[in-house]
Amino acid sequence: MKPIEIANYDVLPKVNYPSDIRKLNLAELNKLAQEMRTFIINTVALSGGHLASSLGTVELTLALHYVFNTPEDRLIWDVGHQSYAHKIITGRKEKFPTLRRKGGLSGFPKREESAYDAFNVGHSGTSIAAATAFAEAQCLKGEHAKAIAVIGDGSLTTGMAFEGLNWSGGRDKDLIIILNDNEMSISPNVGALSSYLNRMMTGDRVTKFKSELKTFLKNIPSIGEQIFKFSKQIEESLKTFVVPGALFEELGFTYVGPLEGHRLDYLIKNFENVKKLKGPVLVHVITQKGRGYKFAEENSPTYHSIAPFDVETGLTIPSANTAPSYTEVFGRTLIELAASDSRIVAVTAAMCEGTGLDKFRRKFPKRLYDVGIAEQLAVTFAAGLAIEGLRPVVAIYSTFLQRAYDQILHDVCLQKLPVIFAIDRAGFVGEDGATHQGLFDFSYLRNLPHMVMMAPKDENELRHMLKTAIGCGSPVSIRYPRGKGAGVPLDDELSILPIGRGEVLHDGSDLAIIAVGVTVHPALQAARKLADEGFQVKVINARFIKPLDAELFLSTAASVHKILTIEENVLDGGFGSAVLELLAQNGVKDVTVKRLGIEDKFVEHATQAELRSQYGLDEAGIIRAAKEMLEK
């Protein structure tokens, strides 16, 4: 049997839309759940993707679509990485094997893809705000569709989710929040809310204790009854411990749960009741991340987002490229630096493994802070640490750092604090698509006074940049891409780079390419190939986006009258724009400048290589652009 061919299944072929599942009996529904798991596992084994979270929500998805009248009732998935089952039963089963591939299905819900995707998602914590808006709009329009947010216990720790709970709990509109609690973010969930949810899970023990206590007190002659009465008064304060969901009740929600999230009959029965409730309701569902696939159940962080893997062994397909990733080199170098500088601490927003800080945590457990999915908190927290004389290194993906723009401006830059931003997954991220591309950080950081900005040409330069950043004394960012390094040798000795100085890698007088970050090596290769064709192309590795190497760039403009800038960032406000501003401010004339980067648009999912080729940022694209200028 080829497990991704739908004809090989029994129930799956009968199901295209939620209306089909509503015709199934319980045994068929359970069979369907099993088949969907196999289908998801085997598809993700080929495409890569968010496996563990999607396996955890199969029954939840079926029960929600079974009971609610989707798509009229709005179902909003938080992050959307758990929505594969939802995709399969909402008209996208046949296309599911194209998941995350160029031109194929997105890995996240997307309104352009289906009427069943009520809101575009990818970043954590947005579902309650969106669902509240639908509930409010329904009310205003005099309509009665339900608004349902499905949010994980990890995502519930984001500031936005708390803000949403606070506001919507006080609004009295019909809103359903499904808390999908698997006790995990990517790694185990952190923080007081997580402990609270854990306590609720052990709440029945406390309830038992309370009832035993009552019996005991009542049986004490004469004073027993009085103590019992008094104990009733303090019951309210005990409530938090003994009534699951008291916190949510206090916030204005009717709390339902905790519900066992893998029993379809039970979920369906409870959702039927929930459907009849008025006002804000929070349904607490307990699920298991990775459910039904042994390896993912045992090690859900690894299977949270996984590259293509072998289903039998659970092992990812080894890459022919043995170079370390930028992330690994960052993590390793930070450990080296921290070993001799006790001021260095690291901050992550729930992405310890993803940012390469897991080894740092093992080595220096007290010097690693995981604040949960809370990028804003991470940045302001780092600002405070910097005031205390520490050197915080905040490692966050480019796309998620967008959340913390004001904190970077208001709390870090305005106070000129030595916070180091290690911006991972900058540039094209590939298969995660538009919500995750790291194509904006040059633009959103470049306008901030005091910010020093670097981008290494390869993993070795990243090491020196990290050393440089620690001693910089101002806010500083280093952005580097997802994936393998260039495979260059790594220097043992780390040196401090002169701030704001680039390097000339190849000389030439017909055209100057000023490249930055991951575009430098392809630019160099392009120049070598162009040399074979008789063109003399100068290649500069900018190293710094801010401050620019004004002296080098201006002298280059004076001698080479054609300049090509290259960056993996949007052009608006990016590196090439900075070069143009420099030339304009210095009254440079007679220079033609062309900028390679991303025109004013969002970039969809495809592999990084496909995107580099599509946007002309690989060697071939650079040669094309250079020739256009050279031949003019």
Ligand X SMILES: Cc1ncc(C[n+]2csc(CCOP(=O)(O)OP(=O)(O)O)c2C)c(N)n1
Residues assigned a catalytic role? 289, 375, 403
Which one of residues 289, 425, 479, 506 is an interface residue with ligand X (CB under 6 A)? 289
**189 vs 519, beta carbon nearer ligand X:** 189
The Cα 325–Cα 520 span in angstroms is: 17
Which one of residues 155, 541, 565, 577 is an interface residue with ligand X (CB under 6 A)? 155
**81 vs 391, beta carbon nearer ligand X:** 81
Which one of residues 47, 83, 168, 185 is an interface residue with ligand X (CB under 6 A)? 185
Query: Judged by CB under 6 A, which stretch of 21-29, 150-158, 512-520, 596-604 contacts ligand X?
Result: 150-158
Which one of residues 117, 153, 174, 458 is an interface residue with ligand X (CB under 6 A)? 153
**351 vs 617, beta carbon nearer ligand X:** 351
CB of 202 to ligand X, least distance (A): 19
Site string for ligand X, 26-65 (x = CB under 6 A): ---------------------------x--x---------
Query: Judged by CB under 6 A, which stretch of 96-104, 152-160, 218-226, 526-534 contacts ligand X?
Result: 152-160
Query: Judged by CB under 6 A, which stretch of 74-82, 465-473, 478-486, 532-540 contacts ligand X?
Result: 74-82
Residue 182 engages ligand X in binding (rule: CB under 6 A): yes
Q: Residue 507 in 3-state DSSP?
A: coil
Instruction: Tell me which residue of 185, 175, 169, 151 sits closest to 247, measured CA to CA.
Output: 169
C-alpha neighbours within 13 Å on the C-beta side of residue 390? 18
CB of 564 to ligand X, least distance (A): 35
Instruction: Tell me which residue of 45, 4, 566, 618 sits closest to 293, measured CA to CA.
Output: 45
CB of 350 to ligand X, least distance (A): 4
Q: What is the DSSP string of 429-441?
A: --TT-TTT-B-SH
CB of 600 to ligand X, least distance (A): 24
CB of 629 to ligand X, least distance (A): 40
Residue 81 engages ligand X in binding (rule: CB under 6 A): yes
**355 vs 541, beta carbon nearer ligand X:** 355
Q: Residue 367 in 3-state DSSP?
A: helix
Per-residue burial over 122-137, b = 16 or more CB atoms within 10 Å of its CB, e = otherwise? bbbbbbbbbbbbbbee
Using N-to-C axis directions, what is the helix angle for 223-233 and 235-242, rounded to 10°? Answer: 70
C-alpha neighbours within 13 Å on the C-beta side of residue 544? 20
Q: Residue 120 carries which DSSP code?
A: -
CB of 20 to ligand X, least distance (A): 26
CB of 185 to ligand X, least distance (A): 4
Residue 400 engages ligand X in binding (rule: CB under 6 A): yes
**Binding-site residue total for ligand X (CB under 6 A)?**
23
Residue entry with tokens 């990733």:
325
**106 vs 468, beta carbon nearer ligand X:** 106
The Cα 445–Cα 465 span in angstroms is: 17
Site string for ligand X, 330-369 (x = CB under 6 A): --------------------xx------------------
Which one of residues 154, 169, 430, 433 is an interface residue with ligand X (CB under 6 A)? 154
**185 vs 608, beta carbon nearer ligand X:** 185
Task: State which residue has the least CB distance to ligand X.
Answer: 152
Joined tokens for residue 577 = 């724009």
Joined tokens for residue 468 = 């440089």
H helix runs in 341-374, sequence order:
358-363
313 alpha-carbon distance from chain centroid: 27
Query: Judged by CB under 6 A, which stretch of 180-188, 336-344, 383-391, 593-601 contacts ligand X?
Result: 180-188
Q: In this structure, are residues 441 and 479 in contact, taking their beta carbons and an 8 Å threshold? A: yes
CB of 43 to ligand X, least distance (A): 18
H or E element that contains 51: helix 51-56
22 alpha-carbon distance from chain centroid: 34
Site string for ligand X, 110-129 (x = CB under 6 A): -------------xx-----
**11 vs 603, beta carbon nearer ligand X:** 603
Residue 83 engages ligand X in binding (rule: CB under 6 A): no
Torsion of CA 235, 237, 243, 247, to 10 degrees: 160
Residues in 568-607 that interact with ligand X by CB under 6 A: none
Which one of residues 93, 101, 403, 446 is an interface residue with ligand X (CB under 6 A)? 403
Which one of residues 21, 62, 63, 79 is an interface residue with ligand X (CB under 6 A)? 79
Q: Residue 478 in 3-state DSSP?
A: strand
Per-residue burial over 492-508, b = 16 or more CB atoms within 10 Å of its CB, e = otherwise? eebeebebbebbebbeb
The Cα 553–Cα 239 span in angstroms is: 68
Residue entry with tokens 């004013």:
600
Joined tokens for residue 599 = 């025109």
Residue entry with tokens 């304060």:
237
Query: Judged by CB under 6 A, which stretch of 14-22, 179-187, 441-449, 522-530 contacts ligand X?
Result: 179-187
CB of 560 to ligand X, least distance (A): 43
H helix runs in 562-618, sequence order:
575-585, 608-614
Joined tokens for residue 218 = 């009542």
Residue 437 engages ligand X in binding (rule: CB under 6 A): no
394 alpha-carbon distance from chain centroid: 15
CB of 253 to ligand X, least distance (A): 18
**88 vs 470, beta carbon nearer ligand X:** 88
Query: Judged by CB under 6 A, which stretch of 182-190, 270-278, 424-432, 453-461 contacts ligand X?
Result: 182-190
CB of 186 to ligand X, least distance (A): 5
Q: Exposed, middle or buried: residue 164 (CB in 10 Å: 0-12, 13-18, 19+)? A: buried
Q: Residue 132 in 3-state DSSP?
A: helix
Q: What is the largest CA-CA distance in the chain?
A: 107
Joined tokens for residue 460 = 């070795």
Query: Judged by CB under 6 A, which stretch of 147-155, 200-208, 324-332, 406-414 contacts ligand X?
Result: 147-155
Which one of residues 55, 89, 373, 434 is an interface residue with ligand X (CB under 6 A)? 373
Residues that bind ligand X (CB under 6 A): 53, 56, 79, 81-82, 123-124, 152-155, 180, 182, 184-186, 289, 350-351, 373, 375, 400, 403
